[in-house]
Amino acid sequence: MKTKIKHGMNLKPEERFLFERLPDVMRLEGAMAAIRQEYYLFWDNIFKRVQKKHPHLDWPDNRSSDKKWAQFGIGKRDWPSAWPNWPSGFYVANISFERLCSPKEENPCAGIWIQPPKKLRIDLESIRKPFIQKAERLLGMKLRDESKSDIGLYYDLPESREALRGMLVRKKEAKFADCMVEHFEKLAKTIPLVDEVFKVKKKRGA
């Protein structure tokens, strides 16, 4: 039986609507790429604010405009992970435009992620429970334990995705930035705990 070859594009109605307005769509696509770049730089500035108070947090991981990872992390060069380009450390997740616009996505959250390289031979199983207890005590809250082969502890941001998106689109970016800095400042209370995992000696000014 011969397969019938389609000679047109199988576009959905909403796709056909956009395709019929291709020049305008292309202009919007270019503008959106520029907006994503500005958002990326916006998060870099948030990192600089956090680092000003915590200079030893020297390893940012900016995936704020990444549709897949949608997160921003801050760690130390002394806190490596099993993934060479990612630090163990503090993360705010689900903050890409896609995640902030879709109620079907997971809520924006913040937390601590630690997955040391195997070569360091750190026994996470033996330290996970006391680490969680100490972290919850320092932060004054119950954390959602998403640990598997790592330590992954998170809390949903009290600010809803709608509130965060509203800050951005209503020209209240400064309020959004202040909010994110506050969450990183909160997580920074656990710096000594993470240092302990990696056996990092305290440095002057840390």
Tens-place pLDDT, residues 149-186: 899 999 999 999 999 999 998 889 999 999 999 999 99
Q: What residue spans define the domains of the chain?
A: 13-198
Tens-place pLDDT, residues 78-118:
999 999 899 999 999 999 999 999 999 999 999 999 999 99
If pLDDT is split at 50, 70 and 90, which confidence band does 2 have?
low
- CA 73 to mean position of chain CA atoms: 5
CB neighbours of 179 closer than 8 A, spacing ≥ 6? 157, 159, 164, 167
CA dist., res. 42 & res. 39, Å (int): 5
Check residues 206 and 146 and name the one with the higher pLDDT.
146
CB-based contacts of 54-61 (< 8 A; 24+ apart in sequence): 54/188, 54/191, 54/206, 55/205, 56/203, 56/205, 56/206, 57/89, 57/90, 57/188, 57/191, 59/87, 59/89, 61/85, 61/86, 61/87, 61/89, 61/91
User: What tokens does 143 get?
Assistant: 């954390």
pTM here is: 0.88
Q: Compute how many other C-beta atoms are within 10 angstroms of the C-beta atom of residue 12.
A: 8
